[in-house]
Structure 1
Amino acid sequence: MAATAPKTLSGEPGRLGTLLRAALPAVPVVNRLPGVRKGAADDFGGLTYVRAGVVADRARVDAYAAVCGFPRKDVVPLTYPHVLAFPLHMAVMSDPTFPYAAMGMVHVENTITAHRAIDVGESLEVATSVGAPRPHARGVLLDFATKVTSGGEVAWESTSTYLRRGRPVDGEPAPGLEVPDPPSGGIRWRLPADLGRTYAAVSGDANPIHLYPLTARALGFPRQIAHGMWTTARSVAAIENRLPAAVTVEVAFKKPVLLPATVAYAARRDRAGWTFALTRPGDGAPHLLGRTSSP
């Protein structure tokens, strides 16, 4: 089936309304209602949402930078455009033609390519597209591809890969991101219990698994977990002053960080760029593995 024409997400997306629309398809009986009921996976040909006139607001950029460990600058942090794209991710997942409920989507990998720095206050267009699911041993993978443009020029792009457990699709699963011989040890960061709520306030990602022990337990976690994109941002912030303006960052999310927590961060430079890892100090189990390269 052919992909539909791009849909426009206008105005300031409402966080509460978006989360409600995302949750309804997981509610029995309600998920059969028109406008909530999901389409068949076999009929899904792709979906694109666009936001125009998006501005990287100074106050929001500064609040995000403070939570994630970036310095205050006149350009946005490398990972910040993901915040501008997140409402589009939720719009796609909440769309009735998208065949999977947002609840249960697991962010497993993320790739960011910055082609140039984006100025604070710059007016941008943000577009997110998702195509047909890819095979995975435990279900399917969905690639949410985002492009941020200014004046017709692509300034930043990313691919957020989500796993949806369940019915597979035909095909041979592709290998995920591999980071051979990741660095170990390094410095330790103490992450507070309210980190998920703090990051949600600056990112708009108020998934219940990140907020409180009670809401996390309702979704299968022993207590709240840190956002994967916070661990990405904090890891990038630690080496941000040594990265070029044009760079690609790839990360794979491994074991969740249960809050509060102490984590270990290590980074190593080689010919291709940087490799970095966020691990559990006791046994070295990885929470996040990443690398940088030239775009």
Structure 2
Amino acid sequence: MPELTATPNLTALFGKAVLTGFTRRGTRLPDTVYEQPNVSVDRTHLARYDRVCEFRLTDELPVTYPHVLAFPLQVKLMTDPGFPFPLIGSVHLANRIIRIRPLRVDERLTLRVHVENLRDHARGRQFDMISEVLVAGEPVWTGVSTYLRRGGGSGAEKARERVEPPEPTAVWRVPGNIGRRYAEVSGDRNPIHLHPLAARLFGFPRAIAHGMWTKARCLAAFEGRLPEAYTVDVRFKLPVLLPARTGFAASTVDQGWGFELFDARTGRPHLAGTVTPGA
């Protein structure tokens, strides 16, 4: 298990991703596991993240924040020579977070990242990037990001019936610069989030919000109402074109919550998720 003594440089890694993206071909995922021990949280950075995602400023880490800490390790793995798919152009389909207990800003963390479960998708191939946070050797947080690489799919997707969105419990104005602001705190400087001209090269009419920002923004709306241990699943649907006006709706489902984010004018879905008590 390769052990990292410092956080990987994302600027250099994204440059590498652009230069090597067209040469990546493969059929197997690497079995590499990256680990970075003794990670401390920068309080200033945490506060900036809280403000961008609209979490309260506390000594407890938002449930989505460890994803940001592990993201450089994910990018390092996805830009290694043995990784079969290019980073640029991979689509974030879904994200699951399992929180066993809250994390505090003064705890020393060990980050661990690996990739698994390569499988067919109607539009190509998909795989799971697994991130873990351990404290004193005990796992306390797990994130599963499912990515799609388009091309050579297994068949056509089933047509989706149009479903009218629920009545929003809140309407949020998403500013045009949220992609750049979230990129500054997350390190995710994929060009589709930064500028409309760059986004058009990838088929988007305008820059789009990060999927993990939309998930974080939704979970910020639940602060003070969630248990200490829970699992939150999200499926990303249509992108949020910036600037935007979005509707947010939440409802109780069994013992947990269901929530949706959608275009406030057209009802086009951006995200659907559930929060389930327990881990």
Cα 1:182–1:54 change in 2 (3 A) is: farther
CA offsets per residue over residues 107-158 of structure 1, 9 Å max, x none? 0100001101111031111111112411111111110111100101111101
Instruction: Report the equivalent of 1:143.
Output: 128
What amino acid is the match of 2:141? W
What amino acid is the match of 1:209? I
Q: 1:161 aligns with which of 140, 143, 146?
A: 146
Cα 1:185–1:53 change in 2 (3 A) is: same
Q: Identity rate of aligned residues, in percent?
A: 44
Instruction: Report the equivalent of 1:285.
Output: 268
Whether 1:10 aligns to 2:5 is: yes
Query: Is the deviation greater in 256-265 or in 14-23?
Result: 14-23
Q: Tell me the CA shift for residue 286 of structure 1.
A: 0.8
Instruction: Report the equivalent of 1:261.
Output: 244
Q: TM-score, normalised by structure 2?
A: 0.92
Alpha-carbon distance in structure 2 between the residues aligned to 1:181 and 1:131: 35
Q: Tell me the CA shift for residue 183 of structure 1.
A: 4.4
Residue-pair matches, total? 274
**Structure 2: which 5+ residue stretches go unaligned?**
none
CA offsets per residue over residues 39-91 of structure 1, 9 Å max, x none? 621x4453322211211221111110111011011111111000011111101
What amino acid is the match of 1:226? A
What pairs up with 1:16-165 in 2 under 5 angstroms? 16-27=11-22, 31=23, 38=24, 40-41=26-27, 43-165=28-150
Q: 1:204 aligns with which of 175, 180, 187?
A: 187
> Contact conserved, 2:262 with 2:270, CA < 8 A, in 1?
yes
Cα 1:181–1:147 change in 2 (3 A) is: farther
CA offsets per residue over residues 90-115 of structure 1, 9 Å max, x none? 01110111100111110010000110
> Contact conserved, 1:223 with 1:259, CA < 8 A, in 2?
yes
Alpha-carbon distance in structure 1 between the residues aligned to 2:29 and 2:188: 26
What amino acid is the match of 1:40? G
**Structure 1: which 5+ residue stretches go unaligned?**
1-5, 32-37
What pairs up with 1:235-254 in 2 under 5 angstroms? 235-254=218-237
Cα 1:243–1:228 change in 2 (3 A) is: same
Alpha-carbon distance in structure 1 between the residues aligned to 2:77 and 2:218: 28
What amino acid is the match of 2:26? A
Q: Tell me the CA shift for residue 253 of structure 1.
A: 0.3
> Contact conserved, 1:191 with 1:260, CA < 8 A, in 2?
yes
